Amino acid sequence: ADTAVDRFAERVRRAPDAFAVRCAGTGERLTYRELDRRTAVLAGALAAAGAGPEHTVALLLERSVDLVVAAVAVVRAGAAYLPLHRDDASPRQQTILSDAGTRLLVTDRHTRDDAVVRYARDRGLRLLDVRAGSDAAAGDAPPGAGVSPDSLACVMFTSGSTGRPKGVGISQGALASLAADRWWSEGGAEKVLLHSPHAFDAFNLELWVPLLTGGEVVVAAPGHLGPAELARTVAETGVTGLWLTAGLFHAIAAEDPACLAGLRQVWTGGDAVSPDAVRAVRRALPHLTVVNGYGPTETTVFATRYAVRRLPADAVSVPVGGPLDGKRVLLLDDALRPVPPGVVGEVYLGGAGVARGYVGRAGAT
């Protein structure tokens, strides 16, 4: 099985001068060769600061090219990134840092004075600027040395709406598997907009699917992205694929579905998707493929997907479709027996992409 590091290195070898990441706000743009070098430099600095296998490195960064560089650099150093929300209350951030056993926090010029940074410093965490490192150090850090498909690559914390937040440990192989699904070959992954809050799992889709398939990550400017800003960003940067929560998809379908013009695919989910919203978008943009994705954080973003080609007029729901390549979906009864068609059962998900468990919480796992 592949690792995310292996797949990234392969893309660098195949097309080093293709564009890998672009910032919609500043216009900064890096090729795969340049991203490879930037991430190698930071990976060397991370390794020198103590990052390595089974270590979590917290990222407190603005949405930017630096955020992309930091996430890739962490996995190249063999460690796991833990993205933090700047908007989260400081107590939640403190809980997350403590539960994940984080010893290292990466900041930038926008975040280095945040309250959680003072907490981290007081607790003895080491602080590292995202622009740290040198070319000399990069030469001493072979990319992905000692990394295996089962190596911890990132930790994404649940919302905690039903109790204490849990850190979902996602492996290198799970990230590689997400990007290996055949669906991404249909054009949506050529230019993907990175705009979701990066402490939630959609960030992994927006980052790794384009990078590991030879596409380009288009980083939205920091701040809220409404329909007008979305339309402008898509038009100016040529975005082809976009993830929207079901709630945002519904709002855009009701207010201005034309703002999605120019896209090839829009992926939505996270809650039940309204058939009426899908119909509204398809009427306005018949060329656009709407994909309903289903899966908890514990299955690395998506476990199933359904491309809506046609939705019957009397449909009251949108199917969640079948499993991604390498994943399994079973509907079982209380005795763990498969249920026949038309009978309600419980969903069991397995195969590639299932998380390693909850970090530091063996009982919950």
Give residue limits of the domains in the chain: 1-326
Q: What is the residue type of 359?
A: V
Tokens found for residue 269: 């989910």
Q: Write down the pLDDT at residue 225.
A: 85
- Tell which residue, 237, 232, 240, has the closest CA to residue 213: 240
Provide Rg for the chain, Cα atoms.
Answer: 20
For residue 145, the model assigns a pLDDT of: 66
CA distance 214 to 209: 9
Helices of type H across 215-273:
227-237, 246-255
Tell me the residue type at 262: G
Give me the tens of pLDDT residue by residue for the chain, a chain 365 residues long. Answer: 599 999 999 999 999 999 999 999 899 999 999 999 999 999 999 999 999 999 999 999 999 999 999 999 999 999 999 999 887 667 888 889 999 999 999 999 999 888 889 889 999 999 999 998 766 655 555 566 679 999 999 999 987 766 788 999 999 999 999 999 988 888 789 999 999 999 999 999 999 999 999 999 999 999 888 888 888 999 999 999 999 999 999 999 999 999 999 999 999 999 999 999 999 999 999 999 999 999 999 999 999 999 998 888 889 999 999 999 999 999 999 999 999 999 999 999 999 999 999 997 776 76
Q: What pLDDT was estimated at residue 159? A: 78
For position 137, what pLDDT does the model report?
Answer: 58
| Residue 75: predicted pLDDT | 97
Parallel/antiparallel/unpaired status of strands 152-157 and 167-171: antiparallel
DSSP string for residues in 209-222: HHHHTT-EEEEPPS
Buried b (16+ CB within 10 A) or exposed e, 112-128: eebebbebbeeeebebb
Task: Name residues whose C-beta falls within 8 Å of residue 271's C-beta, 6 or more positions apart in sequence.
Answer: 245, 246, 247
Please give the DSSP secondary-structure letter assigned to residue 351: E
Q: What pLDDT, on a 0 to 100 scale, did the predictor assign at position 183?
A: 84
Helices 4-14/65-76 angle, 10° precision: 120
Q: How far is CA 72 from CA 158, 230, 336, in A?
A: 22, 25, 40
- Check residue 140 and give its pLDDT: 52
Q: In what order do the strands lie in the sheet with 322-323?
A: 29-31, 19-23, 216-219, 191-194, 241-245, 265-269, 289-294, 304-308, 322-323
Q: Measure the CA–CA gap between 291 and 293, rounded to whole angstroms.
A: 6
Q: Which one of 3.40.50.12780, 3.40.50.300, 3.40.50.10420, 3.90.550.10 gives the CATH number of domain 1-326?
A: 3.40.50.12780
DSSP state of 201: T
Residue 317 DSSP code = S
Quick one: pLDDT at residue 324?
A: 95
The kind and range of the H/E element at 116 are: helix 115-122
CB atoms within 10 A of CB 316: 8
Give every CB contact of residue 223 below 8 A, 6+ residues apart in sequence.
none
pLDDT at position 365 is 67
